[in-house]
Amino acid sequence: MKTLFMLLLFCHVSSTVKHSLKYFLTATSGVSNLPEFVGLALVDEVQVGYCDSNIKTVELKQDWMRDFMKDYPKHMEWYIQMCFSEQQSFRANIVDLKQRLNQTEGAHILQSMDSCEWNDETGEVFGFHQYGYDGEDFIALDLQTLTWNALRQQAFTTKLRWDADKDRLEYNKYYLLHECPDWLKKYLHYGRSFLQRTELPSVSLLQKTPSSPVSCHATGFYPDRAMMYWRKDGEEHHEDVDHGEILPNHDGSFQISVDLNLSSVAPEDWRRYDCVFHLSGVEDHIVTKLDKAQIRTNWVSPSEFPAGGVTGVVVALLLLLVLCITGLFIWRKNNNGFRPANRVKCP
């Protein structure tokens, strides 16, 4: 499994010519303090547009995207129209799903992702479009057969109805393999100075408690084509290592963590370990020695814990529990969510 992980990570690092345009749409029912509908647009995993049912407009998140819309005002009108038309469609779909699944109460969430990818070296284009409901994959478009795949038994009725809509199927195919890549290429032209930049991260050693694994955490790097690993005596080390995913930051940069469990390592052997970060396209590596004095932690020993702090800890734990429960409603992008059901190369 570790060998497979490193192989996949290497492939991710080496794919320096693949670009993507993704749209994430989310509708909620019975979820308080959240808009009923949210839409996100991302270019190469960088958020460029946002709309929701509360603000009733489209917000552009990058200066270069604003420049683009000034030159293509009709495209901005398309974004606004799409936001409101999809809002109505999603509202109807979530009502229909609740009725068919006999869900009369509770919180429910419907999400979709449609995306195109373009390899600027080979010219290959891929597209995929899929939906998730209540945190699970629901239905996905198969561009090879131009039919919908029901990913849950409850989606079979939807599949039959959507398969019968031939005009919609043909439009989805044309959009994903032609229109979407054409706009992606235009976006990349306007955002090239931003999207083609390289930024090195700050790297820190973190540890929750003295018995917890030591986390090597890198944040603020760009692009997301990077790898990080632990070494022992100068050799790559896999035992008791947990590799985290590359995650986005709010400013368009990325972060990653790799944990090392030192429970079976003698303190005098810690100096044999170091953490290595490598950003694709950058020759130098960032090497961080495992030095106990450099580990950052917010852990306080019981003897140093103030009695008056107990209430604050209880409140913090309750807030964390609420956040965790809220997070369960979000369709995850890893493992079970947003997996490309199929890819079709544009002829």
Residues 6+ apart with CB under 8 A from 68: 75, 186, 187, 190, 191
Task: Answer yes or no: is 53 within a domain.
Answer: yes
**Average pLDDT of every residue of the chain:** 84
Query: What is the per-residue pLDDT across 208-249, written as a single tens digit (0 to 9) for each?
Result: 998 999 999 999 999 888 999 999 999 999 999 999 999 989
Task: Answer yes or no: is 95 within a domain.
Answer: yes
Q: According to the model, what pLDDT value does residue 230 have?
A: 98
Task: Answer yes or no: is 190 within a domain.
Answer: yes
Tally of domains within the chain: 1
Q: According to the model, what pLDDT value does residue 19 have?
A: 93
Query: What is the per-residue pLDDT across 167-210, written as a single tens digit (0 to 9) for each?
Result: 999 999 999 999 999 999 999 999 999 998 999 999 999 999 98
The reply to whether omega before 223 is within 30° of 0 (cis) is yes
- The number of residues in the chain equals 347
Q: According to the model, what pLDDT value does residue 280 have?
A: 87
Residue 11: pLDDT band (50, 70, 90) is very low
The whole-angstrom separation of Cα 198 and Cα 74 is 32
The parent domain of residue 172 ranges over: 16-195
Domain harbouring 47, CATH code: 3.30.500.10
Q: According to the model, what pLDDT value does residue 303 have?
A: 53
Cα distances from 282 to residues 176, 187, 286, 309, in angstroms, run: 33, 25, 10, 46
Kindly write down the DSSP assignment for every residue of 17-57, as one continuous string: TEEEEEEEEEEEES-TTS-SEEEEEEETTEEEEEEETTT-S
Task: Answer yes or no: is 219 within a domain.
Answer: no
Task: Answer yes or no: is 234 within a domain.
Answer: no
47, 252 contact by CB (below 8 A)? yes
Task: Answer yes or no: is 178 within a domain.
Answer: yes
Helix (H) or strand (E) holding 61, with range, is: none
Task: Answer yes or no: is 172 within a domain.
Answer: yes
Task: Answer yes or no: is 240 within a domain.
Answer: no
Q: According to the model, what pLDDT value does residue 17 have?
A: 75
